[in-house]
């Protein structure tokens, strides 16, 4: 039973444009949502998070939106830069000690 779905395995955008990465979840116990970024041959690093009491959190070029009724969150990167090329993992948490991750979306930002 896949609790976290990132339905787009890959996404390609032009430098300077917006990147939108999506994540859907099924567990209504999730109350905190994190995004991690992973470069090749490195471990994932924390990028941005949002609590279920909010619907938006912004940090520089990165904004995460949460739609609890739809059980959907998205990560917006504006403007996208070539250095943003990485795999992005959605990681909803809550109701369990087991911290689960989505399968990831590989973002490629073309110069």
Partner 1 sequence: NAGVTQTPKFQVLKTGQSMTLQCAQDMNHEYMSWYRQDPGMGLRLIHYSVGAGITDQGEVPNGYNVSRSTTEDFPLRLLSAAPSQTSVYFCASSYSKENRKLFFGSGTQLSVL
Binding mask 45-84 for partner 1 (x = CB under 8 A): xx--x-----------------------------------
Number of alpha carbons in the 13 Å side-chain half-sphere of residue 72: 8
Q: Is 99 in the site for partner 1 (CB under 8 A)?
A: yes
Residue 29 found at the interface with partner 1 (CB under 8 A)? no
Q: Which of 8, 61, 100, 108 binds partner 1 (CB under 8 A)?
A: 100
Q: Is position 34 an interface residue for partner 1 (rule: CB under 8 A)?
A: yes
Dist. CA 74–CA 7, nearest whole Å:
12
Strands (E) across the chain are located at 4-5, 10-14, 19-25, 32-38, 45-51, 56-59, 62-67, 72-77, 86-93, 105-110
Interface with partner 1 (CB under 8 A), residue total 23
Minimum CB distance to partner 1 smaller for 80 or for 92:
92
Q: Give whole-number Cα distances, 41 to 15, 86, 87, in Å.
A: 23, 11, 11
Q: Which residues bind partner 1 (CB under 8 A)?
A: 6, 9, 32, 34, 36, 41-46, 49, 89, 91, 93, 97-104
């Amino acid at each position: 039973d896949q609790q976290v779905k990132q339905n787009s395995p890959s996404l390609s955008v032009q430098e300077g444009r917006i990147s939108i990465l999506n994540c859907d979840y099924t567990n209504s116990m999730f109350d905190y949502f994190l995004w991690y970024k992973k470069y090749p041959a490195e471990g994932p690093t924390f990028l941005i998070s949002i609590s279920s009491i909010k619907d938006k959190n912004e940090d520089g070029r990165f904004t995460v939106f949460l739609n609890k009724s739809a059980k959907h969150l998205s990560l917006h990167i504006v403007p996208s830069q070539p250095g943003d090329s990485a795999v992005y993992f959605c990681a909803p948490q809550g109701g369990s000690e087991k911290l689960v991750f989505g399968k990831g979306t590989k973002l490629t930002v073309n110069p």
